[in-house]
Chains A and B, each alone.
Chain A
């Protein structure tokens, strides 16, 4: 794939 992966960013890992 040409474009960077957004998989990591789709999940909001911050637990407030």
Chain B
């Protein structure tokens, strides 16, 4: 039942090329997915600013438009304001735990260095081992890097908190039960001319097409994420045949082959959205002209727009918090490994110190 433990072992050049190829792949994937998500955010933002689709549903001027009700139910189902409130409260604790691990690790190094220096001061040339300060330079540099990362995380926490503060009032309103939500939205006289008018039908159709474009992106995202490839074999062959690996060229060519069609479909999709959004804006202008605009209608519309935005903000804040929580948890694992490195080296130095002391006392 022999298993080759070294089956996955490859020459250093291949290892480095595979690592570089994976970075390029991740960059490509992130770029594609990033541009799709950005397009969805843009789309949602534009629609919210036009009070769409709520304006098309709001024929009574009184009941909560269906799309707003759906947004409300979606947030309530995700735990409403309380769930993000709680998670935001947890962030400082997660930060603190990470700081403590880092601080303890660096203190171990500081304490051992202080003792080492003390003994060097006492024994001078006879204390002839490398100073701890020199040995610990790389670890301290790593520790410094971790500090910078934590500083950036603190800033990110602040951004999340500010987003929350800016939107919590509207989010709270959107999370209220239907009757309270309805009561909080000012009434307006319904625009009777809206029903059956052509522009309403045109807008509805354009919005439906836009939904389709958004759904297509979800599918595309899944497909992009599911692409896998492994260039190890190709790199091994190149190294054996040519003595060198032209990683950039080989990876670019593989990426083109694997993601070329996805890239095209993404670009097509984004162009389609752009077209639809400008068509919608033209239709919306016609639509606005049709409506009886009075101050009650405008006030009502303002509130509906804010409620639609509140939904998008909630989704964004939720996602930010999830990202932050994962970040801190992942960082803890990494810092614990760092802590082990520090305690290992300090333990070795202590053992060495005790032996040196014994020798010096004997001599």
A: residues with CB less than 8 A from B are 1-4, 6-7, 9-12
Q: Is the interface of B mostly helix, strand, loop or mixed?
A: helix
Chain B residue at minimum C-beta to C-beta distance from A1: B323
Contact status B337-A2, CB under 8 Å? no
23 contacts between A and B (CB under 8 A): A2-B156, A2-B159, A2-B160, A2-B323, A2-B324, A3-B152, A3-B156, A3-B323, A3-B324, A3-B327, A4-B149, A4-B152, A4-B153, A4-B156, A4-B327, A6-B149, A6-B327, A6-B331, A7-B26, A9-B149, A9-B334, A10-B330, A12-B337
* B residues 326-343 in Cβ contact with A at 8 Å: 327, 330-331, 334, 337
Chain B residue at minimum C-beta to C-beta distance from A6: B330
A7 CA / B153 CA spacing, docked (Å): 15
A10 CA / B152 CA spacing, docked (Å): 18
A11 CA / B156 CA spacing, docked (Å): 24
Query: Which residues does chain B contribute within 8 Å of A6, judged by CB atoms?
Result: 149, 327, 330-331, 334
B44 at the binding interface (Cβ < 8 Å) = no
B320 at the binding interface (Cβ < 8 Å) = yes
Contact status B26-A2, CB under 8 Å? no
Counting chain B CB atoms within 10 Å of each CB, the highest count among A4, A6, A10, A11 belongs to A4
A2 CA / B152 CA spacing, docked (Å): 9
12 more CB-based (< 8 A) A-B contacts, given A2-B159, A7-B26: A2-B160, A2-B323, A2-B324, A3-B153, A3-B156, A3-B323, A4-B156, A6-B149, A6-B331, A6-B334, A9-B149, A11-B19
A7 CA / B26 CA spacing, docked (Å): 10
Query: Which residues does chain B contribute within 8 Å of A10, judged by CB atoms?
Result: 330, 334
Query: Which residues does chain A contribute within 8 Å of B334, judged by CB atoms?
Result: 6, 9-10
* B residues 309-363 in Cβ contact with A at 8 Å: 320, 323-324, 327, 330-331, 334, 337
Query: Which residues does chain B contribute within 8 Å of A1, judged by CB atoms?
Result: 323
A2 CA / B320 CA spacing, docked (Å): 7
* B residues 97-139 in Cβ contact with A at 8 Å: none
**Closest Cβ–Cβ distance, residue B328 to chain A (whole Å):** 9
Contact code string B151-195 (vs A, CB < 8 Å = 1, else 0): 011001001100000000000000000000000000000000000
* B residues 1-41 in Cβ contact with A at 8 Å: 19, 26
Query: Which residues does chain A contribute within 8 Å of B152, judged by CB atoms?
Result: 3-4
**Closest Cβ–Cβ distance, residue B80 to chain A (whole Å):** 22
Contact code string B140-153 (vs A, CB < 8 Å = 1, else 0): 00000000010011
A11 CA / B330 CA spacing, docked (Å): 12
**Closest Cβ–Cβ distance, residue B182 to chain A (whole Å):** 35
Query: Which residues does chain B contribute within 8 Å of A7, judged by CB atoms?
Result: 26
